């Protein structure tokens, strides 16, 4: 451009900048008003407002799914719009009880009634569209109770990862949304006894800003939200001051002594004209074997009418990108809020490196190769399970994952006590409350992103690992375990198969429970929320010294201390837990033989003895949450199958036949166990299974047609990776047992789903497996926005009614991002099942009957 052209351009720019704002605005298309959409929420282009479509299910309290929520330009950035009793409520702080909701689909007005039963206080939240904004009002028929004056306020929570690095304005005064919380705090009396800080006190943040008009991210059209209050000011808080999983919170206190319409906010989430969500190309991040079916599914905004071509591109070693001739992608149809097209490139069998391109959107590379699944389970074996080992110190090269943890386990939990994380102690116990139970400080794995030992998880993992070891002879050795020093070294072989060592570690904890208590217990968990929410090094959670009430706080003497930080053991007897543990111990005894014969013998003896005891009385039916085992009949069936496989005793076969009529209706949950019994059972057993298996295959075929991914996708408050892997594993085991009925194709559909062929993104849900995998997850290192290699996350969470979600920028969504050990062992099994089905390993080495 010459000098004259530059000057003319500058003059033109100046003239445009001098035009009245209204004149410039006329160039932009008019924004459609917010209105009720048949899908079940208020909608305008690029913006959805969900009004109590989701609610806390009571299982895990505040999971950031509830109240008034906003999906803005494809990302759910706002949640929990409701009356709350704290400025920055935590997971265990009270939330209202949902009563009812009415919707006027013509006007878009949504009225929701809620209640705080403890205060006998009801209120109504009314949401009414007003152009591109919504008026949110709080209506009271009775004033705020005296006990809640100064506490009850209307809150809306804003996702920190969506607003960090951005600005805000409060009545025109500018501010910056901080990367890390740094606001002033005030010391307060404890907000909630359940949260149990050690010194009995708490702290609350002071607001970052306050005003009757609050604008978040004014510079970012995709994230700009404007809040206006016609009464009390809106204060802006940073909830991360109290906990790393806190959100930014906008809040107005409700006035005292008033009824009727006591608060009105006008909320406008900016809509970007013409916005369309970028295409997502779902595919396996790991790749495909040459003979495998190969599907890529493009997920598109329903308003995206542009014509695009999905191309498969081969990557050369010189960087060349060569399109590969494949059939044209075909429309699949609509699922949830998106439309889909699919490309079947199964005919491409040439090994190499490939990627997919849709109208300029490109995937990461993936391989076509014979050995695709050979290493897929290694990170879970090599890193995830060693890191999860309780009562040990775990080191990886220069990194200490944690010191020796919970060496002071454990004391008897209080009687008639309902605790956090679904633990409850009944009216009786074999020990006095607070009494130390010797011998529980061995073995076991941290259940999930927290640090408790959930017995139900322990025995599920043991059985899964035993099955993998027996079926495929897995003898990988990359981890050293030294019990005498309670030391684990990752990436250092010690001559013993890692799978055997992991089975042994889980078995040690189950055996310890029977030795110390006499039966399987619910589990072992922290005594209070403050300790429960500990992140990082598990070895620093306690002082590792047994608590002695006779000692003063801080005093240590003879290996004991005056610090009451020992975990609590919940010991209410449940036959379901006994049977589940019997199954694991019987199975473990087979794998441990030849490596730890004494433990193998002891595990089998406990299993046989406890079976006889349980068969001699009516079952103990104590049940609470998900810590007391599955249905008793299912756990008993599992115990009978594993004991039969271990002992070949006919009485267990007889019991399996007797229980089968009760198992058949719940076959989906029990297919693997039922099928593994076939080689040890009379022919009549397989014959009885046949019609049930046929029905399963019919249901599986129906599920395969229900969405573009060919697997069952759950819609509860915990995402469905476990369900998908369970479906795939059932497909595998039933194909092995009934090849004439079950085609086994569900194995690949399931593993492809886990590796990226799923809604919302194309990321692998197994950290460090696949080119692009989960790198921000809810492990015990989640405050670092990091991952544990080989951990498996729950995956795609369906926010009702139709929004699939999995955040890679915010690890604290446990329903999407939390590692749990049963999914880890399922992944090891699934990866090896896929390897076998791909034909690269030959047939399985399953234990067979004599």
Q: Which of 794, 713, 770, 710 is nearest to 744 (CA)?
A: 710
Q: Are 727 and 68 in contact (CB under 8 A)?
A: no
According to DSSP, the β-strands at 260-269 and 248-253 are: unpaired
My answer on whether 199 and 346 are in the same domain is: no
Residue 307 is predicted with a pLDDT of 85
My answer on whether 236 and 129 are in the same domain is: yes
My answer on whether 303 and 173 are in the same domain is: no
Cis preceding-peptide flag for 410 (omega within 30 of 0): yes
Q: Are 577 and 520 in contact (CB under 8 A)?
A: yes
My answer on whether 364 and 468 are in the same domain is: no
- Look at 452-456, 514-518, 573-577, 846-850 and tell me which has the smallest mean pLDDT: 846-850
Residue 843 is predicted with a pLDDT of 54
Task: Summarize pLDDT for 16-51 with one digit per residue, the tens.
Answer: 333 333 333 344 567 899 999 999 999 999 999 999
Q: What is the pTM of this model?
A: 0.94
My answer on whether 337 and 466 are in the same domain is: no
Domain that holds residue 206: 35-269
- Domain boundary, last residue among 269, 301, 320: 269
Residue 563 is predicted with a pLDDT of 94
Residue 24 is predicted with a pLDDT of 33
Distance CA 823, CA 812 (A): 18
Q: Does 21 reside within a domain?
A: no
Residue 57 is predicted with a pLDDT of 61
Q: For residue 134, give the DSSP letter.
A: E
Is residue 849 very low, low, confident or very high in pLDDT (cuts 50, 70, 90)? Answer: low
Q: What are phi and psi of 48, to 5 degrees?
A: -125, 140
My answer on whether 616 and 704 are in the same domain is: yes
Task: Summarize pLDDT for 604-641 with one digit per residue, the tens.
Answer: 999 999 999 999 999 999 999 999 999 999 999 999 99
Distance CA 310, CA 296 (A): 9
- Domain boundary, last residue among 341, 368, 395: 368
Q: Does 7 reside within a domain?
A: no
Distance CA 756, CA 389 (A): 28
My answer on whether 111 and 76 are in the same domain is: yes
Max alpha carbon distance in the chain (Å)? 101
Q: Does 18 reside within a domain?
A: no
Q: Does 280 reside within a domain?
A: no
Q: Are 255 and 270 in contact (CB under 8 A)?
A: no
Query: How many Cα atoms occupy the beta-carbon half-sphere of 532 within 13 Å?
Result: 22
Distance CA 664, CA 644 (A): 19
Residue with tokens 């989701």: 54
Residue 362 is predicted with a pLDDT of 97
Task: Summarize pLDDT for 757-786 with one digit per residue, the tens.
Answer: 999 999 999 999 999 999 999 999 999 999
Number of domains in the chain: 3
- Reply yes or no on whether the pLDDT at 12 is more than 70: no
Distance CA 692, CA 690 (A): 5
Contact partners, residue 740, CB within 8 Å, separation at least 6: none
Percent of all residues in the chain with a pLDDT value above 70, rounded to a whole number: 93
Residue 29 is predicted with a pLDDT of 63
The string of DSSP letters for 638-666 reads: HHHHHHHHHH--HHHHHHHHHHHHHHGGG
Burial letters for 784-816: b for 16+ Cβ neighbours within 10 Å, e otherwise? ebebbbbbbbbbbbbbeebbbbbbbebbbbbbb
Distance CA 73, CA 66 (A): 19
Residue 31 is predicted with a pLDDT of 83
According to DSSP, the β-strands at 487-490 and 167-170 are: unpaired
Task: Summarize pLDDT for 314-350 with one digit per residue, the tens.
Answer: 999 999 999 999 999 999 999 999 999 999 999 999 9
My answer on whether 314 and 244 are in the same domain is: no
Is residue 183 very low, low, confident or very high in pLDDT (cuts 50, 70, 90)? Answer: confident
Q: Are 111 and 137 in contact (CB under 8 A)?
A: no
Q: Are 437 and 431 in contact (CB under 8 A)?
A: yes
Coil, helix or strand at residue 600: helix
List of E strands, 66-116: 68-72, 75-84, 97-104, 109-116
CA separation (Å) from 226 to 80, 136, 265?
A: 17, 13, 10
* Average pLDDT estimate for 178-183: 91
Q: Are 114 and 98 in contact (CB under 8 A)?
A: yes
Residue 59 is predicted with a pLDDT of 60
My answer on whether 185 and 326 are in the same domain is: no
My answer on whether 191 and 315 are in the same domain is: no
Q: What are phi and psi of 527, to 5 degrees?
A: -75, -20
Q: Does 846 reside within a domain?
A: no
- Domain boundary, last residue among 219, 236, 269: 269
Q: Does 30 reside within a domain?
A: no
Distance CA 81, CA 32 (A): 23
Q: Does 61 reside within a domain?
A: yes
CA separation (Å) from 850 to 115, 149, 308, 472, 733?
A: 63, 74, 59, 19, 20
Q: Are 233 and 226 in contact (CB under 8 A)?
A: no
Is residue 190 very low, low, confident or very high in pLDDT (cuts 50, 70, 90)? Answer: low
Residue 624 is predicted with a pLDDT of 95
Structure token pair of residue 555: 């005093």
My answer on whether 342 and 240 are in the same domain is: no
Q: Are 396 and 383 in contact (CB under 8 A)?
A: yes
Query: What value, to the nearest 5°, has the Cα angle with vertex 188 and ends 187 and 192?
Result: 135
- Reply yes or no on whether the pLDDT at 265 is more than 50: yes
Q: 185 forms bridges with which residues in the sheet? A: 205
- Reply yes or no on whether the pLDDT at 56 is more than 80: no
Structure token pair of residue 106: 């013509």
Is residue 839 very low, low, confident or very high in pLDDT (cuts 50, 70, 90)? Answer: confident
Residue 224 is predicted with a pLDDT of 98
Q: Per this entry, what is the length of the chain? A: 850
Rg (CA), the chain: 29
CATH number at residue 452: 1.50.10.10
Distance CA 123, CA 114 (A): 6
289 CB-contact burial (10 Å; exposed 0-12 / middle 13-18 / buried 19+): buried
Distance CA 260, CA 142 (A): 8
449 or 191: which leads in pLDDT: 449
Most confident of 198-202, 427-431, 556-560: 427-431
My answer on whether 565 and 592 are in the same domain is: yes
Q: Does 847 reside within a domain?
A: no
Q: Taking the alpha carbons of 575, 578, 580, 582 in that order, is the dihedral positive or negative?
A: negative
* Average pLDDT estimate for 236-253: 95
Structure token pair of residue 400: 């200490």
CATH number at residue 318: 2.60.40.10
Residue 756 is predicted with a pLDDT of 98
3-class DSSP string for 7-27: HHHHHHHHHHHHCCHHHHHCC
- Reply yes or no on whether the pLDDT at 645 is more than 50: yes
């Amino acid at each position: 451009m010459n000098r004259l052209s530059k000057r003319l351009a500058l003059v033109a720019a100046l003239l445009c900048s001098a035009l009245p704002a209204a004149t410039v605005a006329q160039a932009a298309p008019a924004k459609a008003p917010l209105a009720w959409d048949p899908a079940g929420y208020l909608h305008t282009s690029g913006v959805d407002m969900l009004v109590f479509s989701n609610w806390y299910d009571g299982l895990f309290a505040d999971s950031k799914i509830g109240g008034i929520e906003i999906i803005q330009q494809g990302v759910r950035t706002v949640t929990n719009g409701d009356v709350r009793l704290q400025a920055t409520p935590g997971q265990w702080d009270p939330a209202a009880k949902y009563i009812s909701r009415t919707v006027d689909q013509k006007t878009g007005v949504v009225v929701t009634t809620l209640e705080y039963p403890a205060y006998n206080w009801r209120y109504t939240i009314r949401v009414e569209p007003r152009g591109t904004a919504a008026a949110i009002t709080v209506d009271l028929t009775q004033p705020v109770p005296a006990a809640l004056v100064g506490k009850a306020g209307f809150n809306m929570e804003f996702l920190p990862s969506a607003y960090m690095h951005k600005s805000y304005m409060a009545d025109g005064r500018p501010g910056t949304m901080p990367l890390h919380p740094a606001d002033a705090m005030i010391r307060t009396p404890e907000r909630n006894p359940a949260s149990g800080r050690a010194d009995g006190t708490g702290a609350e943040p002071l607001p970052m800003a306050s005003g009757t008009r609050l604008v978040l991210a004014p510079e970012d059209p995709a994230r700009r939200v404007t809040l206006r209050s016609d009464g009390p000011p809106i204060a802006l808080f940073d909830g991360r001051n109290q906990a790393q999983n806190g959100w930014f919170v906008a809040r107005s206190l409700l006035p005292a002594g008033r009824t009727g319409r006591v608060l009105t906010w006008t909320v406008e989430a900016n809509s970007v004209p013409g916005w369309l969500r970028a295409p997502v190309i779902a595919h396996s991040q790991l790749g495909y074997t040459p003979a495998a079916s190969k599907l890529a599914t493009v997920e598109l905004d329903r308003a995206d009418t542009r014509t695009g071509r999905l191309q498969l591109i081969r990557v050369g070693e010189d960087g060349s990108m060569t399109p590969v001739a494949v059939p044209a992608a075909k429309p699949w149809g609509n699922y949830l809020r998106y439309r889909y097209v699919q490309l079947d490139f199964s005919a491409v069998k040439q090994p190499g490196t490939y990627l997919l391109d849709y109208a300029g959107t490109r995937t990461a590379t993936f391989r076509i190769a014979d050995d695709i699944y050979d290493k897929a389970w290694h990170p879970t074996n090599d890193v995830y399970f060693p890191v999860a080992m309780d009562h040990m110190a775990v080191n990886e090269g220069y990194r200490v994952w944690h010191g020796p943890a919970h060496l002071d386990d454990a004391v008897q939990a209080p009687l008639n006590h309902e605790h956090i994380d679904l633990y409850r102690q009944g009216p009786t116990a074999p020990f006095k409350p607070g009494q130390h139970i010797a011998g529980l400080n061995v073995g076991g794995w941290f259940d999930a992103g927290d640090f408790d030992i959930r017995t139900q998880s322990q025995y599920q993992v043991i059985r899964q690992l035993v099955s993998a070891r027996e079926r495929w002879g897995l003898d990988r050795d990359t981890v050293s375990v030294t019990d005498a020093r309670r030391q684990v070294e990752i990436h250092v072989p010690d001559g013993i198969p890692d799978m055997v060592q992991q089975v042994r570690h889980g078995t040690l904890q189950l055996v310890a429970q029977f030795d110390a208590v006499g039966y399987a217990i619910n589990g072992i968990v922290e005594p209070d929320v403050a300790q429960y929410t500990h992140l990082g090094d598990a070895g620093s959670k306690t002082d590792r010294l047994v608590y002695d009430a006779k000692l003063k706080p801080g005093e240590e003497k003879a290996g004991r201390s005056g610090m009451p930080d020992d975990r609590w053991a919940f010991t209410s007897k449940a036959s379901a837990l006994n049977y589940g543990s019997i199954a694991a111990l019987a199975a473990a005894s087979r794998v441990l033989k030849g490596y730890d014969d004494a433990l193998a013998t002891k595990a089998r003896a406990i299993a046989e003895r406890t079976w006889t005891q349980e068969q001699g009385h009516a079952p103990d039916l104590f049940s609470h949450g998900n810590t007391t085992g599955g249905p008793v009949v299912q756990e008993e069936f599992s115990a009978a199958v594993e004991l039969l496989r271990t002992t070949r005793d006919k009485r267990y076969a007889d019991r399996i036949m007797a229980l089968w009529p009760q198992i058949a209706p719940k076959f989906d949950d029990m297919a693997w166990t039922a099928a593994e019994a076939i080689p040890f059972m009379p022919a009549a057993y397989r014959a009885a299974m046949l019609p049930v298996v046929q029905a399963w295959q019919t249901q599986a075929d129906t599920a395969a047609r229900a969405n573009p991914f060919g697997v069952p996708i759950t819609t509860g408050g915990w995402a469905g990776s476990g369900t998908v892997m369970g479906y795939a594993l059932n497909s595998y085991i039933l194909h092995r047992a009934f090849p004439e009925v079950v085609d086994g194709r569900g194995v690949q559909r399931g593993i492809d789903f886990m590796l990226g062929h799923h809604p919302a993104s194309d990321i692998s849900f197994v950290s460090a497996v696949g080119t692009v995998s989960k790198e921000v997850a809810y492990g015990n290192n989640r405050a670092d926005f990091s991952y544990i290699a080989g951990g498996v996350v729950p995956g795609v969470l369906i926010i009702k009614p139709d929004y699939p979600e999995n955040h890679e920028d915010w690890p604290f969504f446990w329903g999407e991002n939390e590692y749990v050990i049963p999914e880890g062992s399922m992944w090891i099994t699934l990866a090896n099942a896929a390897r076998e089905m791909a034909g690269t390993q030959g047939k399985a080495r399953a234990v067979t009957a004599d």
